[in-house]
Amino acid sequence: MVATAATSAFLPVVPPTSDSSVKPLGKLGGGITASVEGRGNGLSSKSPSVGNLRVRANAQVPPKVNGSKVGVMKGSETEEMNPSPPPRTFINQLPDWSMLLAAITTLFLAAEKQWMMHDWKPKRADMLVDPFGFGKTVQDGLIYRQNFSIRSYEIGADRTASIETLMNHLQETALNHVKSEGLLNDGFGSTPGMSKKDLIWVVTKMQLLVDRYPVWGDVVQVTTWVAASGKNGMRRDWLVRDTNTGDVLTRASSLWVMMNKETRKLSKIPEEVREEIGSYFVDYPPVVDEDSRKFLKLNENTTVSIRTGLTPRWNDLDVNQHVNNVKYVGWIFESTPSTVLETRELSSITLEYRRECRKDSVVESLTSVVENEVGDSGFIQCQHLLRLEGGGEIVKGRTDWRPKSYKTIRSANPLPAQSA
């Protein structure tokens, strides 16, 4: 009875009839007979009642059988059935979902970028903080600033940035300064006028003072500018600040001259080049007072440590086909006694470059340890010499070292107010 009531809700129950036109065709299942009558294009089947239930089924010929169209006979004619369109499924709607997903992703990335810029706002209005490391010029291109995040591979055994890392940051900002003003041509900092005359810049002296070393994860801001140095030289200065506190961490000053890359001889600044770079010179004093102390004459009898057989690797060469000046610092440390490296940290370094080092050169590193005038406070001074195996001097250097536990209290000379 329950089945009968449920079925009757969808299929009407036909009362029993004694129509004589219905003829039994045969037994279906347990004593159920079926009758079929043709009506037009369809087939109508009538089934006798199962109890009081009678089922009527209407059927149509399928439009396709095994991929071929079929028709229904109507008299002597055959009518083809038009195939129905394919159903709309998730798969054929996928391009619409892809466009929606792309729009949502674009909005999300734009919102994330705005949030990051807001989160990295400088603590002080006169400081530029750039989380993406892109530089910026100020004062009509006279001053250039760029941020650097200290990476894990840029720190040493003391968990602080190495001196080579700091010097690489200085070199990077110097080149980006020239590039940002459209003066960078095919050389390492060469202007278009210099390239026409086969001239390149070479550094003759570098002084660097470190008040505090940044650590992994710190973000530092490097500021640089150039000034004239005599008639045929250029001075470039740098200040390195902690973007979180604004404190000056490092100060550096360098002197540069021009050299002909074909003859490898020093050259005067041509007037064409002077017109290119002269407008970028500023009238600021050096951020580091010149170290006028004389270098000792080092040889096998006056040194405590010598390292021989140092050769440049291919990666040590720059685009001017000579050893990059930062590499010299690593060679100097090759002959520095391990007791100095393990118990003290470098506080200042002065380098005088005498000649270039090429890819086939073989270098010797000499170091002499000198007691500082401070006495027993733990400060020491080292004298260094890099020379070719044949005897020619490449670099003379002086380094000052302080105890690793020493806390720097000295206040650095700030960048002039008008350049901030």
Q: From CA 384, how far away is CA 331, in angstroms rounded?
A: 10
φ, ψ of residue 12 in degrees (nearest 5) = -65, 140
Domains of the chain: 2-61 (no CATH), 121-419 (3.10.129.10)
Mark whether 357 is an active-site residue. Answer: yes
Q: 């994860």: which residue's tokens?
A: 217
Q: Which helix (H) or strand (E) holds 349?
A: strand 344-353
* Tokens coding 1: 């009875």
Q: Can you tell me the distance from the alpha carbon of 387 to that of 258, in angstroms, rounded to the nearest whole number?
A: 22
Helix 325-334 / helix 163-180 crossing angle, nearest 10 deg: 170
Catalytic residue among 169, 177, 357, 382: 357
The pLDDT assigned to 38 comes to: 41
Q: Which of 169, 176, 177, 322 is catalytic?
A: 322
pLDDT, mean over the chain: 76
pLDDT at 14: 45
Say whether 320 is catalytic: yes
Token pair belonging to 96: 């619409």
Model confidence at 315: pLDDT above 80 = yes
Q: For residue range 200-212, list pLDDT tens digits in order.
A: 888 999 999 999 9
Contact 173, 222 (CB under 8 A): yes
pLDDT tens, position by position, 66-106: 555 545 444 444 444 555 666 666 555 555 566 777 788 88
Catalytic residue among 168, 185, 244, 320: 320
Query: What pLDDT, on the 0 to 100 scale, is given for residue 22?
Result: 42
DSSP-derived secondary structure for 277-335: HGGGB-----SS----PPPP---TTT-SEEEEEE---GGGB-TTSSB-HHHHHHHHHHS
> What's the predicted TM-score (pTM) here?
0.64
Q: Within 13 Å, how many C-alpha atoms sit on residue 307's CB side?
A: 17
E strand or H helix at 96: helix 94-119
- Give 369-394 pLDDT, tens digit per residue: 987 655 557 899 999 999 999 889 99
**CB–CB of 273/191 below 8 Å?**
yes
CA-to-CA distance for 282 and 141, rounded, in angstroms? 11
Is the backbone of residue 384 left (phi > 0), alpha (psi -120 to 50) or beta? beta
Max CA pair span of the chain: 136
* Cβ contact 136:322 at 8 Å: no
Question: What separation, in Å, do the N-terminal and C-terminal C-alpha atoms of the chain show?
Answer: 95
Cα(257)–Cα(202) distance, rounded to whole angstroms?
Answer: 6
Which residue is it, tokens 């294009």? Answer: 41
What sign does the dihedral 333-338-342-346 (CA atoms) show? negative
Q: Please state, as a whole number, how many other Cβ atoms lie within 10 Å of the Cβ of residue 2.
A: 6
- Tens of pLDDT, residues 125-161: 333 344 445 688 888 889 999 999 999 999 998 899 9
